[in-house]
């Protein structure tokens, strides 16, 4: 039964195998790789990409694409740090700053969704354009990197909640949110929209609403990602997250979600994001000269994608 | 008893064109009702109005005696009228169950999709059609993995899950082969026994008389006749459809003996699910490829044209090697190919009639610029010769009916005339008048020296048109029928032979 449902699921397996290979490679290159503190540090590094990839999954499942999520991350970051600084940096200020950041993410997603689903613009061109707009806004809000966040913010992020590291709590919440969405009719309908839009329309599915929701989710997860990155960098940076959108799309595709839409899921994207992150750390610990790292990373992602595609086509 | 559906005095205009002029249709409970008429007679428009996808200018529709408000497909559905879409409403990536309940998913108390309920209810639906469901038709099976007739079945179940009183099937059998049509008819009979009525639109007269209880005939937007199927015959129905002026090409085969002038030699060609196959064809011959659908006929035609090149073997025409690696090779040797799947294989959508005709000549004559005046004159003449009804060469291709579009697509290949004409179910979904024109054209081209090879999903078409029939079964030629052996009996026997 499951054997018949080919397509995405095989790419997913390839990615899982790639993940294991990378784990072994990392364990060899980095002798303390499996120590809990190192595991936590690695998972912390990958978390922003994981979150963006989860959000991107919904957009891609619905047959669209969101190139603007990197810019959303930057805009969320500068708005959050600016709000916190303007309100004096106490606990209330941090809470309001976080809410403002989430609001920015949702708002940006809503704008993308309304332009694309409402005015029927091309998603790839539209989100490219809105990414420039969002980046411009970020530079306008905070022209230069700086403006540190209060200590409790990054201490909480690096610390723990009820004895569990905060990063793991965030992972757990993200997984629960993804699982919640996966169990709703929303997911089936979104796949229908991405899989065969005319069929979804003739069945009476509200295509516009679903596409907008997917972009809002992408913006929301983009905001979450930004707030995590802020916890790591502890300051504002209008150029933050520039490579995130493309890395997240790679992660989604590696995770078995078809770029054409209709097939896939968020869990695969998490695996994909880990693979993309691990490729980076393998290259780093292999001691490759800095100037080759990006090139090699690109080639490995390309090879992993090709592997998935070849297995799927078989 | 109250009819389940009564549409009376329905009128509808699209711009200046009056599509329906006080049309009427009455469907009794639990009957299979065939709606017939040439293309453009308004039968599809009438069905769309009843199903709520098109608005009406005047008239009313009553369901179970009560006047129904049919503003949208959803409203129509709520009142028990469902339109069956030709695979258009299935999402291939989703499972059968997910497709059937798409948009109306049962939910658990917490608002999650109730997968158990979907599974359970889909199983119950499948049980109703268990005899025809076939292997692998489970609630979890992905639609993409189903066979074409199983997809059709899934589509029917999707309609059934909405508990309709009347289901409208608009050319539901157009893409099916004979065995699948039988399965489909079994389903219609099953529905009938459950008291569900079907409105069935088809261009195939055999099918109509095989399945329909009653027949309504439309012409020029009006309802012109209603028959009980058991009390009429196809001549009466055809007469009603075409009126007094229509000329139906029942048989355009002339019986003059063919010269023994072999021009096409196909030598042990092979493709993925074909062959090796060898045969020859004569100048002036119309050679039919018969048999059940999917026995290699299409592979043979697309191989000859180079669209899906043969893996092995040779083809020669007039002594020249014409084994094609790509369509341009075939075109260089005056080989032409016309497909019944116009949207996929022929149309340049959104482009003008002129561009749609000129395209083949551009390739064949290696031109980079369209010589406007020369080509316009050439193609206007060809199109007129085919009785094509069109507003002008610059009108978009989509403005034409299926039959007229097909005439445009064949006219691509007519100047200069082809040496070998390959026809792949060319009259699929086109009206009887255009079919007649098509048959006459094929015969005329053959008389002028072309060799014509045709595959058709309609046996009667092959039998009335072809000089000789090769029956394919499991990728091999199992019979070569000509002369006295060119009968429905021989064809059926060879089609359903041992290899199947």
pLDDT confidence tier of residue A1, bands split at 50, 70 and 90: very low
Render A61-85 in DSSP notation, one character per residue. HTT---S-HHHHHHHHHHHHHHHHH
B residues 60..119 contacting A (CB < 8 A): 73-74, 85, 88-95, 98, 102-103, 105, 107, 111-113
Please identify which residue in the block is written with the tokens 């014409």: B322
Q: Which residues on B lie below 8 Å from A210 (Cβ)?
A: none
Pick the CATH number of A9-15+38-308 from 1.10.3470, 3.10.20, 1.10.230, 1.20.1270: 1.10.3470
pLDDT for position A218:
97
Q: What gap in Å lies between CA B444 and CA B446, rounded to an integer?
A: 5
pLDDT digits (tens, 9 = 90+) for A212-246: 999 999 999 999 999 999 999 999 999 998 889 98
Contact check, Cβ <8 Å, A262/B74? no
pLDDT for position A34:
84
Name the residue among A188, A194, A198 with its Cβ closest to that of B113.
A188
Contact check, Cβ <8 Å, A195/B102? no
> B97: nearest CA in chain A?
A188
Instruction: Say whether residue B55 is in contact with chain A using an 8 A CB cutoff.
Output: no
Mean pLDDT (whole number) for A187-215: 91
Cβ(B412)–Cβ(B360) under 8 Å? Answer: yes
Cβ(B29)–Cβ(B49) under 8 Å? Answer: no
pLDDT for position A2:
39
Instruction: Say whether residue A205 is in contact with chain B using an 8 A CB cutoff.
Output: yes
Residue B381 token pair: 């003449």
Q: Is A120 left (phi over 0), alpha (psi -120 to 50) or beta?
A: left
Cβ(B407)–Cβ(B338) under 8 Å? Answer: no
Residue B299 burial (CB count, 10 A) = 23
pLDDT for position B340:
83
> B142: nearest CA in chain A?
A5
Instruction: Say whether residue B142 is in contact with chain A using an 8 A CB cutoff.
Output: yes
Nearest to B12 by CA among B23, B1, B26: B23
B residues 154..213 contacting A (CB < 8 A): 158
Q: What is the 3-state secondary structure (H, E, C) of B354-381?
A: HHHHHHHHHHHCCCCCCCHHHHHHHHHH
First to last CA, chain B: 46
Q: What gap in Å lies between CA B19 and CA B465, rounded to an integer?
A: 33
Residue among A183, A203, A210 with most chain B CBs within 10 A, to mutate: A203
pLDDT for position A10:
62
Q: ipTM of this predicted complex?
A: 0.85
Nearest to A15 by CA among A62, A45, A53, A41: A53
Residue B233: DSSP 8-state: -
Residue B417: DSSP 8-state: P
> A264: nearest CA in chain B?
B93
Q: Which residues on B lie below 8 Å from A184 (Cβ)?
A: 111-113
Give me Rg for the CA atoms of chain B: 24
Q: What gap in Å lies between CA B86 and CA B16, rounded to an integer?
A: 29
Residue among A204, A206, A259 with most chain B CBs within 10 A, to mutate: A204
Q: What are phi and psi of B193, to 5 degrees?
A: -70, -20
Q: What gap in Å lies between CA A185 and CA A193, rounded to an integer?
A: 12
Name the residue among A1, A188, A194 with its Cβ closest to that of B102.
A188
Contact check, Cβ <8 Å, B90/A5? no
Q: What gap in Å lies between CA B5 and CA B197, rounded to an integer?
A: 9
Q: Which domains does chain B have, with CATH numbers?
A: 5-242 (3.40.50.300), 262-495 (3.40.50.300)
> A7: nearest CA in chain B?
B93
Q: Which residues contact A248 (CB under 8 A, 6 or more apart)?
A: A49, A52, A53, A55, A56, A69, A269, A273
Q: What gap in Å lies between CA A166 and CA A155, rounded to an integer?
A: 10
Name the residue among B89, B138, B144 with its Cβ closest to that of A203.
B89
Q: What is the 3-state secondary structure (H, E, C) of B181-221?
A: HHHHHHHHHHHHHCCCEEEEECCCHHHHHHHCCEEEEEECC
Q: What gap in Å lies between CA A272 and CA A12, rounded to an integer?
A: 8
Name the residue among A4, A205, A262 with its Cβ closest to that of B93.
A262
Q: What gap in Å lies between CA B239 and CA B248, rounded to an integer?
A: 9
Instruction: Say whether residue A10 is in contact with chain B using an 8 A CB cutoff.
Output: no
Q: How many residues does chain B have?
A: 500
Residuewise pLDDT in 10s, chain B (500 residues): 789 999 999 999 877 677 899 999 999 999 999 998 766 678 888 988 998 888 889 999 999 888 888 777 778 888 889 888 765 689 999 999 999 999 889 999 988 999 999 999 999 989 888 777 778 899 999 998 888 778 888 888 888 888 899 999 887 776 666 777 888 888 888 889 989 999 988 767 778 888 999 999 988 888 988 999 888 887 778 777 766 533 343 444 444 555 567 889 999 999 988 879 999 999 889 999 988 777 889 899 999 999 999 999 999 998 899 998 999 889 889 999 998 888 788 888 888 888 888 888 887 777 788 777 888 888 888 888 888 878 788 888 888 888 888 888 988 888 788 899 999 988 887 877 788 888 888 888 888 889 999 998 777 788 888 989 999 988 889 889 888 888 777 777 777 654 33
Name the residue among B98, B112, B136 with its Cβ closest to that of A183.
B112
Please identify which residue in the block is written with the tokens 């260089």: B332
Instruction: Say whether residue B141 is in contact with chain A using an 8 A CB cutoff.
Output: yes
Closest CA of chain B from A259, distance in Å: 13
Mean pLDDT (whole number) for A115-124: 93
pLDDT confidence tier of residue A313, bands split at 50, 70 and 90: low
Mean pLDDT (whole number) for A38-61: 94
Name the residue among A185, A202, A258 with its Cβ closest to that of B88.
A202
Closest CA of chain B from A305, distance in Å: 21
Residue among A8, A192, A256 with most chain B CBs within 10 A, to mutate: A192
Helices A290-313 and A266-285 sit at what angle, rounded to 10 degrees? 140
Q: What are phi and psi of B41, to 5 degrees?
A: -80, -10
* Strand, helix or coil for residue B456: coil
């Amino acid at each position: 039964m499951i054997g018949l449902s080919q397509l995405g699921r095989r790419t997913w397996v390839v990615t899982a195998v790639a993940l294991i290979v990378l784990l072994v490679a990392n364990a060899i290159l980095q002798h303390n790789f499996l120590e809990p503190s190192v595991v936590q540090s690695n998972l912390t590094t990958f978390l922003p990409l994981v979150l963006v990839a989860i959000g991107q999954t919904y957009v891609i499942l619905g047959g669209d694409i969101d190139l603007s999520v990197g810019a959303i991350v930057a805009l969320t970051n500068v708005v959050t740090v600016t709000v916190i600084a303007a309100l004096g940096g106490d606990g209330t200020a941090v809470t309001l700053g976080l809410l403002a950041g989430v609001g920015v993410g949702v708002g940006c997603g809503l704008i993308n969704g309304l332009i694309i689903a409402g005015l029927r613009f091309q998603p790839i061109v539209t989100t490219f354009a809105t990414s420039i707009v969002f980046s411009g806004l970020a530079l306008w809000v905070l022209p230069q990197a700086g403006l540190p966040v209060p200590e409790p913010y990054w201490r909480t992020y690096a610390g723990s909640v009820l004895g569990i590291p905060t990063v793991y709590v965030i992972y757990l919440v993200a997984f629960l949110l993804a699982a919640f969405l996966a169990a709703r009719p929303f997911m089936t309908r979104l796949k229908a929209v991405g899989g065969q839009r005319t069929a979804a329309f003739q069945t009476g599915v509200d295509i516009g609403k679903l596409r907008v929701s997917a972009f809002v989710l992408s913006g929301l997860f983009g905001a979450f990602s930004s707030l995590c990155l802020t916890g790591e960098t502890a300051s504002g940076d209008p150029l933050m997250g520039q490579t995130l959108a493309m890395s997240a799309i790679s992660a989604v595709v590696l995770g078995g979600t078809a770029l054409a839409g209709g097939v896939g899921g968020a869990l695969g994207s998490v695996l994909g994001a880990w693979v993309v992150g691990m490729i980076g750390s393998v290259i780093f610990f292999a001691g490759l000269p800095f100037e080759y790292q990006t090139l090699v990373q690109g080639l490995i992602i390309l090879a992993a994608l090709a592997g998935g595609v070849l297995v799927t086509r078989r | 008893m109250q009819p389940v559906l009564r549409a009376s005095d329905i009128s509808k205009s699209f711009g200046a064109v009056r599509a329906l002029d006080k049309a009427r249709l009455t469907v009794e409970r639990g009957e299979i009702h065939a709606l017939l008429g040439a293309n453009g007679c308004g039968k599809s428009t009438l069905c769309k109005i009843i199903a709520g996808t098109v608005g009406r200018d005047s008239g009313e529709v009553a369901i179970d005696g009560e006047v129904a408000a049919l503003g949208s497909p959803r409203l129509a559905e709520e009142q028990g009228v469902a339109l069956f879409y030709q695979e258009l409403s299935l999402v291939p990536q989703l499972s059968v169950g997910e497709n059937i309940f798409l948009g109306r998913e049962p939910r658990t108390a917490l608002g999650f999709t109730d997968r158990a309920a979907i599974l359970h209810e889909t199983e119950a639906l499948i049980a109703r059609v268990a005899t025809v469901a076939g292997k692998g038709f489970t609630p979890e099976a992905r639609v993409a993995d189903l066979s074409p007739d199983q997809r059709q079945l899934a589509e029917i179940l999707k309609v059934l899950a909405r508990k309709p009183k009347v289901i409208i099937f608009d050319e539901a059998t157009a893409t099916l082969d004979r065995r699948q049509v039988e399965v489909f008819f079994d389903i219609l009979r099953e529905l009938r026994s459950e008291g569900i009525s079907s409105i069935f639109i088809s261009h195939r007269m055999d099918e109509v008389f095989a399945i329909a209880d009653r027949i309504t005939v439309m012409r020029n937007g009006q309802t012109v006749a209603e028959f009980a199927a058991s009390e009429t015959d196809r001549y009466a129905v055809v007469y009603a459809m075409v009126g007094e002026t229509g000329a139906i090409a029942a048989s355009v085969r002339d019986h003059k003996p063919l010269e023994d002038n072999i021009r096409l030699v196909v030598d042990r060609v092979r493709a993925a699910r074909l062959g090796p196959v060898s045969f020859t064809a004569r100048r002036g011959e119309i050679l039919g490829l018969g048999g059940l659908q999917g026995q290699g006929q299409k592979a043979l035609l697309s191989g000859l044209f180079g669209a899906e090149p043969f893996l092995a073997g040779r083809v020669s025409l007039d002594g020249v090697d014409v084994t094609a690696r790509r369509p341009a090779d075939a075109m260089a040797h005056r080989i032409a190919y016309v497909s019944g799947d116009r949207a996929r294989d022929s149309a340049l959508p959104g482009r003008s009639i002129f561009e749609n005709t000129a395209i083949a000549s551009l390739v064949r004559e290696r031109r980079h610029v369209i010589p406007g005046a020369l080509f316009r004159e050439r193609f206007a003449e060809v199109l007129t010769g085919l009785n094509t009804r069109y507003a002008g060469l610059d009108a978009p291709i989509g403005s034409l009916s299926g039959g007229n579009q097909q005439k445009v697509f064949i006219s691509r290949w007519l100047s200069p005339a082809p040496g070998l004409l390959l026809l792949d179910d060319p009259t699929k979904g086109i009206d009887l008048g255009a079919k007649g024109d098509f048959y006459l054209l094929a015969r005329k081209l053959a008389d002028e020296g072309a060799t014509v090879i045709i595959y058709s999903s309609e046996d009667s078409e092959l039998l009335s048109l072809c000089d000789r029939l090769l029956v394919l079964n499991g990728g091999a030629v199992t019979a070569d029928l000509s002369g006295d052996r060119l009968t429905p009996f021989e064809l059926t026997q060879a089609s359903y032979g041992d290899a199947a």
